[in-house]
Amino acid sequence: MKAFTYERAGSPAEAAAAVIRTPGAKFIAGGTNLLDLMKLQIETPRHLIDVNRLGLDKIDETPEGGLRIGALVRNTDLAADRRVRRDYAVLSRALLAGASGQLRNKATTAGNLLQRTRCPYFYDTTKPCNKRQPGAGCSAIDGFNRNLAILGASEQCIATHPSDMAVAMRVLDAQVETVRADGATRAIPIADFHRLPGATPQIETTLAQGELITAVTLPRPLGGVHAYRKVRDRASYAFALISVAAVLPPGGGGRLAFGGLAHKPWRVEAAEGRIGQGARATAEAVLAGARTTPQNAFKTTLVERTLGAVFAEARV
């Protein structure tokens, strides 16, 4: 860990201004990811701006009939919220499938969206990684990539996004609200929030420098079966090999988003039209353009089989 300075921001816009003012500054909320990365010197901020006390920890109902989740609502509180459990069960289930109780107590909604990849080479500063050190090369493409991306990857990076929560947010068509130093706000559709790696895997979101997430809003609830199926190597406390967030209304159709496949939560709206044709047809459409390695090729089979399980469960 490199020495750093610290300040506590008084308001969201002030925090945004502070991060622009100070070179090498970063926001810190729960710190469950950032502090680990700082200890390994994967992240080396020179200044931290603590946003924990900005009052962004409420869950409010929106005039449109949805929910506005404050950026600092802890994962535990969000998963346990009565309205979330009732109307957005897929989100509650996704949250509870992630991390551990202690981490969820600390981790925030915005921080969860901003988690960085768990690619082992990103975590090893003795090895090249384009995400850590642009232009250095990708160690994973020809290395240990059993749990890395099969969709939307590039020659520069095959990392995956590790979040469970973000996958549920994607299936719910959430919007990410932000503020800038000048007080300007905007709402970014979750589909556009995370970027594919392309030639710049170090740039992971569409947030501008100094832009601070203030909330995530959910549109009106979607009826139907809400399922989150996370497949992993042990029963708990492991990142997904693949995960499926599904909202399946009784009349057919539905929505699907996937974790563990790409640099961002993966959703192919066109595939959702095939739900009625079954898991194989749906999986084919989801996996269009997939590029696998000998180690992670099993993910294509797993997507189809897990979809089959989710569809079967929804029909019961």
Partner 1 sequence: MKFDTPATANVIDKMTVVGQPVDRIDGKAKTTGTAPYAYERHDVAPNAAYGYILGAAIAKGRIEQIDLAQAQRSPGVLAIVTYKTAGKLGKAQAHTAKLLAGPEVQHFDQAVAVVVAETFEQARAGAKLIKVSYAKAKGGYDLAAAKAGAIKPQENEFSGHADTAVGDFSGAFAHAPVKLDATYTTPDQCHAMMEPHATTAAWTGDKLTLWTSNQMIAWAVRDMSQTLLIPKENIHVMSPYVGGGFGSKLWVRSDALMAALGARAARRPVKVALARPQVFNNTTHRPATIQRIRIGADRAGKILAIGHESWSGDLAGGGPETAANQTRLLYAGANRMTAHRLATLDLPEGNAMRAPGEAPGLMALEIAMDEMAEKLRMDPVEFRILNDTQFDPEVGPKRPFSHRDLIGCLRTGAERFGWSRRVPTPGQVRDGRWLVGMGMAAAFRGNVPMKSAARVGVDGKGVVTVATDMTDIGTGSYTVIAQTAAEMMGVPVDKVIVLLGDSRFPVSAGSGGQWGGNSATAGVYAACVKLREAIAGKLGFDPDKVVFEDGKVRSGRRSVSLAKAVGAAGLSAEDVIEFGDLDKTYAQATFGGHFAEVGVDADTGEIRVRKMSGAFAAGRILNPKSARSQVIGAMTMGVGAALMEEAVIDQRFGYFVNHDMAEYQVPVHADIPHQDVFFLDEADAKSSPMKAKGVGELGICGVAAAVANAVYNACGVRIREYPLTLDKVLKGMASV
Q: Are 197 and 159 in contact (CB under 8 A)?
A: yes
Work out how close the CB of 14 gets to partner 1 at its nearest, in angstroms, rounded to a whole number: 28
**Alpha-carbon span 314 to 89, nearest angstrom:** 13
**Alpha-carbon span 48 to 6, nearest angstrom:** 5
Kindly compute the dihedral angle of the four CA atoms of residues 162, 257, 216, 44, in this order, to the nearest 10 degrees.
Answer: 20
Residue found by looking up tokens 């000998």 in the block = 294
**Alpha-carbon span 274 to 191, nearest angstrom:** 20
Q: Which stretch binds partner 1 (CB under 8 A): 63-71, 89-97, 170-178, 225-233?
A: 225-233
Write the CA distances from 125 to 114, 120, 153, 210, integer angstroms. Answer: 20, 10, 22, 26
| Nearer CB in complex with partner 1: 88/258 | 258
236 binds partner 1 (CB under 8 A): yes
Work out how close the CB of 310 gets to partner 1 at its nearest, in angstroms, rounded to a whole number: 9
235 binds partner 1 (CB under 8 A): yes
106 binds partner 1 (CB under 8 A): no
Chain Cα centroid distance, residue 137 = 24
Residue found by looking up tokens 């990365």 in the block = 37
Work out how close the CB of 162 gets to partner 1 at its nearest, in angstroms, rounded to a whole number: 10
Q: Are 49 and 42 in contact (CB under 8 A)?
A: no
| Nearer CB in complex with partner 1: 80/141 | 141
Binding mask 132-161 for partner 1 (x = CB under 8 A): -------x--xxx-x---------------
233 binds partner 1 (CB under 8 A): yes
Work out how close the CB of 107 gets to partner 1 at its nearest, in angstroms, rounded to a whole number: 15
82 binds partner 1 (CB under 8 A): no
Binders in 21-60 for partner 1, by CB under 8 A: 39, 41
| Nearer CB in complex with partner 1: 31/308 | 308
Q: Are 313 and 244 in contact (CB under 8 A)?
A: no
127 binds partner 1 (CB under 8 A): yes
Strands of the sheet with 255-259, listed across from one edge: 225-231, 242-248, 255-259
**Alpha-carbon span 39 to 46, nearest angstrom:** 13
Of 141, 191, 238, 281, which one interacts with partner 1 (CB under 8 A)? 238
251 binds partner 1 (CB under 8 A): no
Residue among 256, 228, 251, 262 nearest 98 (CA)? 228
124 binds partner 1 (CB under 8 A): yes
Angle at 112 between CA 260 and CA 38, to 5 degrees: 100
| Nearer CB in complex with partner 1: 30/70 | 30
Q: Are 222 and 257 in contact (CB under 8 A)?
A: no
| Nearer CB in complex with partner 1: 252/316 | 316
**Alpha-carbon span 232 to 246, nearest angstrom:** 17
62 binds partner 1 (CB under 8 A): no
126 binds partner 1 (CB under 8 A): yes
83 binds partner 1 (CB under 8 A): no
Binders in 269-298 for partner 1, by CB under 8 A: 298
Residue ranges in contact with partner 1 by CB under 8 A: 1-3, 39, 41, 118, 120-121, 123-127, 139, 142-144, 146, 231-239, 241, 298, 301-302, 305-306, 308-309
